Structure 1
Amino acid sequence: MSDNRYDNLEMLGGEGKAAASPEDAPLERVENPATADYVIRFTCPEFTSICPVTGQPDFAHLVIDYAPEKWIVESKSLKLYLTSFRNHGAFHEACTMMIAQRLIDELSPKWLRIGGYWYPRGGIPIDIFFQTGEVPEGLWLPDQGVAPYRGRG
């Protein structure tokens, strides 16, 4: 029996091909199944994008935490959205903030935080952190768990 709440999902159970660019990547959402406040965490330890100047690959460990309001992101569409950055040329700061803004625009979460822990090129790691405001009262929020750079291992 089909649950019509999920009829709008095209990616889940579909082919799973990444879009050519983040701008072209669909990001699907479903209704938040809970009324209590809670945090959802996505960890992407193998995020890649392209340096817009050199064309060389850049690598990051992303941690996305958010407290949903009405919507939650469908995880397969998020994975494919993140994969679409593999051929996207942008600096670390732009990639990290583009992801945060897209999630804010699509989900209107109560709160969102992203940590972009970028692996070094030229000997300097660049870490990008953003959150939308104070953590909602009463939420348990664990540390993002990414060590300061020492090989990120």
Structure 2
Amino acid sequence: MPGLRSGELAEAAGVNPQTLRYYERRGLLAEPARSPGGHRLYPPEALTLLQVIKAAQRLGFTLDEVAELVDLGTHRHGRRPDTSLQKRAAAKLVEIETKIADLQAIAASLRTALDAGCEDLTTCATTDCCPISLAGFDHGDKR
């Protein structure tokens, strides 16, 4: 019975062997066959699946989203158009672009604070010339 043992698959995919079992519990990776000695033997296509999972994570998809995408790929018949990879990738792109815009605004505020020579946020925030806008912050925000 050909197959990759847990350590071989994990090494080839660049993941920890415990990641394989975690993905099995999450339903991302099918439980493998066992050798007569009880060793887990994964089919060669498990490596491709792990590479797809890691690539999707690098693109910003959460593990839950990856699970849905993998499930969509294995159940192509009867697929609804609103669950397609195209639709999900477009939505993820909007989410990522929004985060980038937010991070660029934060970076600009920090550059302004550095340029202004702010040494104490509390003191700076109470002056009219504070470059860091406190407008729009909810007093109940605990972040």
Q: What TM-score, normalized by structure 2, do the two folds share?
A: 0.24
By relative contact order (CA 8 Å, sep 6+), the higher-ranking structure is: 1
Q: Of Structure 1 and Structure 2, which has the larger fraction of its residues in strand? A: 1
Which structure is higher in helix share?
2
Q: Provide the TM-score with structure 1 as the length reference.
A: 0.22
Radius of gyration: which is bigger? 2
